[in-house]
Structure 1
Amino acid sequence: MSIKTTSVGSMPRPQEVVDFIFARENETPYAQADFDACMTRNVSETVRRQIEAGVDIVSDGETSKISYATYVKDRYTGFSGDSPRNAPADLKKFPSFLKRLADDGGTPQYARPMCTGDVRSKGQEELNKDISNLKAAMAEHGAERGFMNAASPGVISLFLQNDHYKSREAYLAALADAMKEEYQTIVAAGLDLQLDCPDLALSRHMLFNDLSDAEFLKIANSHVEALNHALQDVPQDKVRIHICWGNYEGPHVCDIGMEKVFDTLMSTKSRYVLFETSNPRHAHEWTVFRDRKGDIPDDKVLVPGVVDTTTNFVEHPEVVAQRIERFADIVGPERVIAGSDCGFGTFAGYGAVDPEIAYAKMNAMSQGAKLASARV
């Protein structure tokens, strides 16, 4: 039995990519042909490096996107102005650390417009370029399986807040309808679809910290309803869902526990569920899956994060193997894929982990998966 490995989406972007992305962001003149050539070239390189590191299921590294959520402002109508910034509640508890992050440039700067009009697709041209780049890179470097990330309705509503629709529910419904085509296009191209859903955990201490856990879970479940609606014509076995508590180094003392969001996560229309287990605040929560083994649907594949994405420690392969084996003991090795806690380049031009160390971590993940495979 060979346990597979996967990236979780974003990978470090080289400076030439960042420069083009921010030229577009800041409406600085640039040649579209040069932009496209840069993205093609660098998607090929990020796929090559994933393969070289031993990753089985690769992505395009989200190379062309400024972030996993706010890229939608460039591909859909209805967004303008700016949204309020909400520092996570845990950072507010430690204002000296929050100030240090700000002073050190540790918080990414990018536009977060409000929703001020009807959300509609501008067409799939940019998405089709991304798909073409990824598939060409996979063919060039011999990758057999790939996936592409897309924003969930819930995470869009978190970062691009509503100032147009009459209610949160109406906004979510509009986003779900607008995003359907993007999801279907990715799967129709022969790729797996990964929906990034930090709104199911992160938003508890970022936007809804004035609510009780029970009240928050009602909102999170409404996000899942909107997402499942958008996925109604997408085969479940092609869908990956990623949940996290925020891909940043911080105290995380306000994070909602996995035991509380477990049912919400399991109710998503997905075959693969990706979640953090290397984050020191959540490393113990593998026991939630052990204790609720009977509540894990038989068609779910667990993709625990077995390497951290916020520090420059390179995990020992034995540590990785032990993390994998915990979940293999729960659901069987055939229903476990090793991943990272989150992406390594959540925002263009920003990342706590050195690019070379990011790939070293992926290699450690692959080595650990081999150790675990030999033992289970």
Structure 2
Amino acid sequence: MTQILTTHAGSLPRSPELIEANAARPVGEDGLTPEPTDEFRRVLRQAVADVVAKQEQIGISIPNDGEYGHLMGSAVNYGSWWSYIFDRVNGLELTGADIFSTEPVRSEPGNVRLTTFPDRRDWTIFAEAYQDPTSGITVGSQPNFPAATGAIAYSETGRQLVQQDITNFRSALDASGYDSGFLAALSPGSGSRIVDDHYGDEDSFLDAWVEVMRPEYEAIAAAGLTVQIDDPSIAENWDQVNPEPSVEDYVAFTRKRVDAVNRALVNVPTEQTRFHLCWGSWHGPHTTDIEFRHIAGLLLEIDAKFYSFEAANVRHEHEWTVWENTELPEGKVIVPGIVSHATNVVEHPELVAQRIERFARLVGPERVIASTDCGLGGRIHPQIAWAKLESLVAGAEIASGRL
């Protein structure tokens, strides 16, 4: 019998103690980096140990640290996967003009440019629903995004923080009997979506983010852990281009971001790399998401062994059929979302098994790891998040027996 392994996309619910300890840290002079305290470090270390132990108790095959080092100051937070990096990079400054407050940008054929977040096509089509607090749409609280006002570089603080993540996680893995796991890190393309007030050239700014992120990837890999590159921008950017571009123009625009990931990973073994793609984790209609068939080829151009992508929510579940006509290269593994972050309904283990079997029959059961669509932490209630992971494990057991 082939045992279907289980994992998740990264973010797990933070404990109240960790959220409180983070919120209590005094903010540094730059306004971006809260000062660490011995008490905060103690709470963080214990929280990582607890969340890894809980994954082992449930039966998750490939754990992480819950992204607890990507700090959240509130229980609801959709953006810590991105905003954590601001504490780790020199050259950033809070200027008052961020991705939510700048003026909308219009693209033209052959010239794809990202507009502002409020100008997203899905957000404007459903403006009435997005502005209605009773609609059920949530985008999470938004941090104050900095701008690049000088040359950016991975800071000494960044090196200390990633080593803190590694040390805490390694200790927790040993205590829970795991051999290894993964740590998530931002992609260069996603990093480059903040306001650039220094480089003045999109390609130069993207190149700078390649150099920024490389030390973090290499530090994680050097510790014997798998690096997960979080890059929803590969798919999500489509909705942030106004008016809608041609697929050809968008693919050309996106291929630069794929190349940036590969250049940043140049010194990381492919076997220690997985890539996470999603269409954005906010709870909204998502009617303007690009179809997976248009970007599946781009996904496979990324130099990773494992490819994580949304496949469980109602906007994208039907796209499992992409793998009928897309050849998965030798030695590669898909990590499809089997339970979703976008609903409070806990998937039945039988549905989980059926979803897993669809992929297993197309690419082989040994090349499928069952996962979540996106991170669960900060997006659904902790009790529901853990119930979903329990169902994921139960469904994988059913599928393993049948396959």
**TM-score after normalising by structure 2:** 0.87
Equivalent in the alignment of 2:105: none
Please state if 1:367 is matched with 2:394: yes
1:111 matched to 2:141: no
Cα 1:181–1:328, aligned 2, differ >3 Å: closer, same or farther? same
Number of aligned positions between the proteins: 368
Matched, 1:184 2:218: yes
Q: After alignment, is 84-93 or 147-156 more displaced?
A: 84-93
**How many angstroms apart in 2 are the aligned matches of 1:4 and 1:278?**
17
Corresponding residue of 2:165 = 130
The equivalent residue for 1:79 is 92
Q: Percent identity?
A: 36
CA distance in 1, matches of 2:216, 2:346: 35
Residue in 1 aligned with 2:196? 162
Give 1:321's aligned residue. Answer: 353
**Structure 1 spans left out of the alignment, 5+ residues:** none
Q: 1:9-55 deviations in whole A, cap 9, x for unaligned?
A: 11011222223334458559876101111110111111111112210
Change (3 A) 1:24 1:245: farther
Q: CA RMSD in A?
A: 1.9
1:61 match: 66
- Which of these residues, 23, 31, 37, is aligned with residue 32 of structure 1? 37
Q: For the residues of structure 2 that align with 1:101 and 1:231, how far apart are their CA atoms?
A: 41
* Aligned pairs for 1:11-22 within 5 A: 11-22=12-23
1:6 — aligned with what?
A: 7
**Closer/same/farther in 2, CA of residues 25 and 263 from structure 1, 3 Å limit:** farther
- One-letter code of the match for 2:337? G
1:94 matched residue in structure 2: 126
Q: In 2 relative to 1, CA 172–25 (structure 1 residues): closer, same or farther, beyond 3 Å? A: farther
Structure 2 residue 376 is matched with structure 1 residue 344: yes
- Residues 243-262 of structure 1 aligned to structure 2 (within 5 Å): 243-262=277-296
- Contact in 2 for aligned 1:328/1:336 (Cα 8 Å): yes
Q: Describe the superposition over 1:57-95 as per-residue Cα deviations: whole angstroms up to 9, x where unpaired.
A: 001111121311121110110111241211342122111
Distance 1:323 1:165, change over 3 A: same
Task: Call closer, same or farther: CA 1:289–1:25 in 2, change over 3 Å.
Answer: farther
The yes-or-no answer on 1:149 pairing with 2:176 is no
1:207/1:35 Cα in 2 relative to 1: closer, same or farther (>3 Å)? Answer: farther
Query: Deviations for 1:153-178, whole angstroms, at most 9, x for unmatched residues?
Result: 011112x2322213111111111112
TM-score by length of 1: 0.93
Give distance in 1, aligned partners of 2:16 and 2:70. Answer: 14
Distance in 1 between residues matched to 2:195 and 2:44, nearest whole Å:
29
Q: Against the structure 1 CA distance between its residues 229 and 111, is the aligned structure 2 distance closer, same or farther, given a 3 Å change threshold?
A: same
Cα distance in 2 for partners of 1:24, 1:102 equals 33
Tell me the distance in 2 between the aligned counterparts of 1:208 and 1:60.
37
Residue type at the aligned position of 2:153? R
Give, in angstroms, the shift of residue 275 of structure 1.
0.4
**Structure 2 runs not aligned, ≥5 long:** 72-79, 101-116
The question of whether the paired residues in 2 share the 8 Å contact of 1:70 and 1:156 is answered with no
Query: Is the Cα–Cα contact under 8 Å of residues 26 and 35 in structure 2 kept in the other structure?
Result: no
Question: Are 1:306 and 2:319 an aligned pair?
Answer: no
Spell out the pairing of 1:227-266 with structure 2 (5 A cutoff): 227-266=261-300
CA pair 266-155 structure 1, distance change in 2 beyond 3 A: same
Give the letter aligned to residue 75 of structure 1: R
Say if 1:78 and 1:120, in contact at 8 Å, map to a contact too. Answer: yes
Aligned partners of 2:67 and 2:261: how far apart in 1?
21
